[in-house]
Amino acid sequence: MTDAATPEPILEPDLPIVDPHHHLWDRALTAPLADLPPPQHGFEAVIRLQPRYLLDELLADTKSGHNVVATVFVECGAMYRADGPAALRCVGETEFVNGVAAMSASGVYGDIRACAGIVGRADFTMGDAVVEVLEAHVAAGGGRFRGVRQSASHDPDKAVLGPLARIDGGLYASDAFRSGFGRLAPLGLSFDAWLLEPQLPELIDLARAFPDTTIVLDHVGTPLGIASYDGRREERFAVWRDNIRALAASPNVFVKLGGLAMVFCGFPSFLAEPRASSLQLATEWAPYIGTCIEAFGPERCMFESNFPVDLGSGSYATIWNAFKRIAAGSSADEKTALFSGAAAKAYRLHL
């Protein structure tokens, strides 16, 4: 992919940023790209763009001009243990990320504190047995483990999620899930929720049922505009908006402003050639981000890069420029909340 033109000037380069959502992975391909079949889904195309994203790649992005002072890693199935009890293999990801965080905390790579917070994975359908997994994450996290993400993303049309269509619907509403979910709050841990726009009522009910658990909605609830939703994203905007407002009524919920660069939304900017400008991205995303800020207030909203997944619509620097364009009319205090304060509060970061 090529940039629209020369790299954009960085807007507000001194504004401190806590990036509350990125991944690390090594999915280096075992066969040359030329020997592989074409990607069947936009998510696969992005993986081919960035098969490896480790500390060097993260630092190249976070040092590309914006003042990123800290980040939060969110689970992506990386570096699970190769053996041992199946339920505990996911703890390998926390061990791996904590090592990266320790490298960053040494100061050798500058002032940034990468992976200052870690969000891992656990299967809450284990019920009370999930406590062993949670405690293992906490022990492996070196004081950085903050919570869990277990995706509920599902749609009857499997073409929406493509290779990520892995589970049946109704996870967050199930008694099996909730039997384990109730173990988060006693341990002081939060929950990241990834689900799709039609599933938002499921999260609304979960948040009401567990008012003492901090919940972070990822990617503004993932509006849909592909597969059977092609051409229907604007038609469904009012449904999404009403559900966002209902979710915001639960004070234990935060929302991440980002993820709109993913394939699922179906925006023209995805995999565009040349790459979209920050102005185009801001124009496409502003209705969703603005609605969330109005509903939740800046103190419960946090901009996120979702890198490297959001690489499909722009570089790290361009995406943060887009966020700054959207927030241009906000006060200094509101910008502090949106770009660092809400993330630090939700993930209990001491910076």
Per-residue pLDDT averaged across 237-252, rounded?
98
Q: pLDDT grade, residue 38 (50/70/90)?
A: confident
pLDDT tens, 271-316?
999 999 999 999 999 999 999 999 999 999 999 999 999 999 999 9
CA angle centred on 208, ends 285 and 196, rounded to 5°: 35
Structural domain boundaries of the chain?
Answer: 16-346
pLDDT tens, 91-134?
999 999 999 999 999 999 999 999 999 999 999 999 999 999 99
pLDDT tens, 141-162?
999 999 999 999 999 999 999 9
In this predicted structure, what is the pLDDT of residue 1? 52
Return the bridge partners of 52, or none: 26
Residue 332: Cβ within 10 Å count: 8
Contacts of 302 (CB under 8 A, 6+ apart): 18, 20, 254, 255, 256, 257, 338, 339, 342, 343, 346
Given a cut of 90, whether residue 35 has pLDDT beyond it is no
In this predicted structure, what is the pLDDT of residue 28? 76
Reported pTM: 0.96
* DSSP codes joined into one string, 71-112: EEEE--S-S--SSS-GGGTTHHHHHHHHHHHHHHHTSTT-S-
Q: Does domain 16-346 have CATH number 1.10.3720.10?
A: no
